[in-house]
Amino acid sequence: MSRAAYGASPGGGPAPSAPAGGSASWEVRAADAVGDVIEFWGFKRNMGRIWAVLYLRGAGLTAAEIGGDLSLSKGAVSMLLTDLLRWGVVRRGRPGPGDARLHEAETDLFAMIGRVVREREMALIEDVGEKLEEASEMARREYAPADARARLDRLMSLARAAEGALSTFLRTANLSALALRGILGAARARGRRRQR
């Protein structure tokens, strides 16, 4: 880990030291916590760990630095960064030391979560709806019993309702997120004024 990554201590003294070849213990603990949540959501745990370290640092890191800080192989870091870039939660920054590309965390948490929900959950719900419609058509052609077709129709209605609810959530979440950002920004500003 680049010890300069954290800058000087608040008192103006030297930058806090971290364990050689890795992140500070608090950073690893936080990265592990984020990794656990990401894994619970069905993603790779180390995707969350990488994003968390980049987010906490507030500065770009090279793939080699990420691997060293989190004890991950070069190949693992490369594959994980590819996934993170595809999901839009990490972006490529400017060239770093030796022209190695720096990677930075997406810091707009609301946009990041909305993008993942839109791309993953909405795609799943749409796919379920299409399959149920195909099943309904097949049931009609194959003269399935009326009570079975009625239950299938109820499943299709549920899928349509879920799709509509998710669409509404994504539209209104953007508005709610903007309002929440404003509230949080005002609270931070008040906190800074009190610290002076």
| pLDDT value at residue 4 | 35
Tell me how far apart the alpha carbons of residues 151 and 142 are, in angstroms, rounded to a whole number: 16
Residue 135: its pLDDT value, please?
94
pLDDT for the residue 54 = 95
Torsion of CA 3, 8, 11, 14, to 10 degrees: 50
133-166: pLDDT as tens digits: 999 999 999 999 999 999 999 998 888 888 888 7
Least confident span in 6-20, 148-162, 180-194: 6-20
Architecture of domain 3-105: Orthogonal Bundle (1.10)
pLDDT in tens, 84-115: 999 889 999 888 777 788 999 998 887 787 78
Average pLDDT of the residues of the chain: 80
Please say if the pLDDT value at position 65 is more than 90. Answer: yes
Q: What is the pLDDT of residues 24-49, one digit of tens each?
A: 889 889 999 999 999 998 899 999 99
| Model pLDDT, residue 167 | 80
* Token digits of residue 76: 């693992």
Is the pLDDT reported for residue 116 higher than 60? yes
Give the residue, 34 or 14, on which the prediction is more confident.
Answer: 34
What are the strands, taking DSSP E only, across the chain?
61-62, 90-95, 101-105
- Specify the pLDDT at position 11: 40
pLDDT of residue 190: 64
pLDDT of residue 169: 75
Residue 185 parent element (H or E): helix 146-195
Q: What is the DSSP string of 154-176?
A: HHHHHHHHHHHHHHHHHHHHHHH
Spatial neighbors of 57 by CB under 8 A, at least 6 apart, are: 5, 6
